[in-house]
A and B are shown apart, each in its own frame.
Chain A
């Protein structure tokens, strides 16, 4: 278990996630916001993988190394990637539709449902 320690993975994940959050909050271009959301999702993915790698096995000793580590974290990452891809497809579709309608995609101008 040598090499990069767990805290380094988590620190990187926290950094990436923070960048994503700040980006979502301060940027007005939806494309960039999407990229930031992807950044946050990938930060979470990184965290999942890190924990999966370092999580002690609950299986009895003597089994294979691959099976020794928990697979659930890695499975979750596959799910997140699939959902993120679907989300991007839908989101970009919406952005295209809005652009065709309004010829601009500044997110602060999209306030038709203002109370």
Chain B
């Protein structure tokens, strides 16, 4: 069987077609609301079909020998100048197909879920327009056969992320969260662009070594096989490229200095959080590290920095998760933490394990987010876990599926999270790739990772128990903490402060102060509140079906991919990598330790939360212990960054405005004008209207002129050279005459 790999264009074309349909005729399909079912179908079908084709191509790819699984499907000339040819072409290989399957597979499930979740939304088609566009951009990022196409996709998903976080743009806090995501990502893009440029410079300087007669120097199939040899001779440049690319990965994948945007991104609709901010887009950084692993495996220093950043992010985000009361915020910090795990793996040199965790994380985190969406949907769009409790009685399907996701992320075997997390820790503890200054950081971050695994189980137990067990707390909400919906009035919000956490950095006024925000008109989109009489209802089929599928994948997916090194040999057949890595540390019973960490975390969580909400975590935050209050505020990091960048940026701007613009530029312009005015006023005094005075001055002028001419002629006539000054004593002239 020889498949036609040109089909890969259809995989990209389908979401594009879906995007065009939704954008151009979606409103007519929906009409007065009766056509929502058809519009939803037209949004889901292209993604599902694309998944089918991608699965077919993946099977076809297995026909090739390992190591030769690489097909480039030519498109059209795009940039073609003087010996350099950057065509628009797609690449089918194990890595791209893995990502494509995740994107289209999880994407189709989340699209399906969204048809139910967004069912009451007025701007139904706008949502699916963005969502389909996101899938298309993500596929370009993954499938493009050169870094320029990757960059297009990179920016495209950033744009879609911005549009979707700010989907309910009438709420100013959402618009600010969208801006924050876009701006913070821009810092990462700065690093990515510089890294790509530096890589291109290296390629251009050594272009004889690359086998590209048609000028396709930047295409992966030309670039990657030779790049390792070229870079081997220049370690400093390699480290620079690796670190710059890692800055880009940090931005997109929410690692420590730049993670700030991801928790705020939860302002978007929950399906968006599941698809973009958990399963696909945020893993683009890990994908980039895998795509260009030849660069990263050559630089131990960069690898050490990557591993340490990942470990610190994992630890930091896990601690912050303890202070969150918003169910989506807990999951957001959990995502940041899990992304940290992926970077630990990549730093240790085990790139395939990073992708393994991307895959399993896509399953269980999408599941958890969609489950939380179902809970939020059932609880009148209230996201505060302190108002939940005992929901297992009302939402049985959501409860069972979310329990699977919870156990998977906690690392209980044989669920998916256990295998990938254990793989990460094993590679980190067993190898010494991430060496800097003779310190084996790989080993250190391995132990840190083990500790974070325990914390993960702990805070996920907290979330699960507060949500599904214990008393039904929405019936006993104190009067001063009345429940607010997701889109509540900001004036009230500003006064009550502590209740609803989904509003991003509003304390630090990104563009507006609280007073300005309170003054803005605000539309209520949801009308019912959470109160004593509330009855949670199980969600519809379109919403629980994706949950069920993802639960099955979270349950078995990890074991299937791990069994017989299936994923490792699929992504990196033996002999591909220059690094020689060990999968298991000697002398450390890792399997037992990670089991202890997972079970220990869960038991600790049960110990604290068995009876429901402890009094010192209740609605009254003044009773919280100092650590939890600090964790809720991200230990002041967010506030510090916002005040440093936003306020600092404003101060710099003001300084330039007042110092440079007003004083120097305006000063110069106004000075010239004032000088001309002064000169004119001074000269104008001569223009006094006395005609006879004019005549006198003209007379004197003519006399003076004639006198000068006369003197000159006199000197010339006597052959005397012209003196430098005209004022000669008169008697001299008399004598000369």
Contacts and interface: CB of A to CB of B under 8 A. Distances in A.
Most buried by A among B684, B691, B696: B691
B692 A115 contact: no
B598 to A, nearest CB: 93
A110 B689 CA distance: 7
Contact of A108 (B683, B686, B690, B699): B690
Contacts of A82: none
A24 interface: yes
Contacts of B686: 115
Contacts, number: 34
A115 B683 contact: yes
A26 B699 CA distance: 13
Given A21-B699, A25-B699, A108 B684 contact: no
Given A21-B699, A115-B683, A108 B691 contact: yes
A113 interface: yes
A113 B699 contact: no
A112 B692 CA distance: 15
A114 B696 contact: no
Given A26-B692, A110-B689, A113-B687, 6 more contacts: A24-B692, A24-B695, A108-B690, A111-B688, A113-B689, A114-B689
B527 interface: no
Contacts of B684: 115
A107 interface: yes
Interface residues of B, number: 13
A54 to B, nearest CB: 20
A113 B690 CA distance: 10
B737 interface: no
A28 interface: yes
A108 B689 CA distance: 7
A115 B696 CA distance: 18
A78 to B, nearest CB: 24
Given A21-B699, A25-B699, A110 B691 contact: yes
A115 B685 CA distance: 6
Contacts of B690: 108, 111
A112 B690 CA distance: 10
A114 B691 contact: no
A25 B688 contact: no
Given A115-B683, A115-B684, A25 B692 contact: yes
A25 B683 CA distance: 22
A24 B696 CA distance: 9
B688 A115 contact: yes
Interface string B684-720: 1111111110011001000000000000000000000
Given A25-B692, A28-B692, A107-B692, A115 B687 contact: yes
Contacts of B687: 113-115
A65 B101 CA distance: 121
Contacts of A114: 687-689
Nearest to B689: A111
Q: Interface on chain A toward B: helix, strand, loop, or mixed SS?
A: loop
B697 to A, nearest CB: 10
Contacts of B685: 115
A105 to B, nearest CB: 12
Interface in A5-54: 21, 24-28
B627 to A, nearest CB: 79
Nearest to B681: A115
Contacts of B696: 25
A25 B692 CA distance: 5
Q: Which 3 A-B pairs have the closest CB atoms?
A: A111-B689, A115-B684, A115-B687
Contacts of A26: 692
Contacts of A115: 683-688
Contacts of A27: 692
A100 B641 CA distance: 80
Interface in B660-692: 683-692
A28 B689 CA distance: 13
A28 B690 CA distance: 10
A115 B690 CA distance: 11
10 contacts: A25-B696, A28-B692, A107-B691, A108-B691, A110-B689, A110-B691, A115-B683, A115-B684, A115-B687, A115-B688
A104 to B, nearest CB: 15
Contacts of A25: 692, 695-696, 699
Contacts of A112: 689
Nearest to A26: B692
B686 to A, nearest CB: 7
Contacts of A28: 692
B93 to A, nearest CB: 83
A43 to B, nearest CB: 14
A31 to B, nearest CB: 14
A98 to B, nearest CB: 12
A98 B99 CA distance: 94
A21 B699 CA distance: 8
A79 to B, nearest CB: 20
B699 to A, nearest CB: 6
Contacts of B695: 24-25
Interface in B613-654: none
Interface in A83-113: 107-108, 110-113
Nearest to B690: A108
Contacts of B691: 107-108, 110-111
A110 B642 CA distance: 70
A112 B689 CA distance: 7
Contacts of B688: 111, 114-115
A111 B688 CA distance: 7
Most buried by B among A25, A28, A108: A25
B659 to A, nearest CB: 38
B468 to A, nearest CB: 90
Contacts of A111: 688-691
Contacts of B692: 24-28, 107-108
A71 B557 CA distance: 122
A115 B692 CA distance: 16
A107 B695 CA distance: 12
Contacts of B689: 108, 110-114
A25 B703 CA distance: 15
B328 to A, nearest CB: 75
Most buried by A among B683, B687, B692: B692
Contacts of A113: 687, 689
Nearest to B680: A115
Nearest to A110: B691
A114 B688 CA distance: 5
A71 B204 CA distance: 87
A49 B585 CA distance: 126
Nearest to A21: B699
Contacts of A21: 699
A107 B691 CA distance: 7
A65 to B, nearest CB: 32
Nearest to A30: B691
Contacts of A107: 691-692
A27 B691 CA distance: 11
B138 to A, nearest CB: 73
A10 to B, nearest CB: 15
A114 B684 CA distance: 8
A114 B690 CA distance: 8
Interface in B155-178: none
Nearest to A36: B695
A84 to B, nearest CB: 17
Interface string B579-622: 00000000000000000000000000000000000000000000
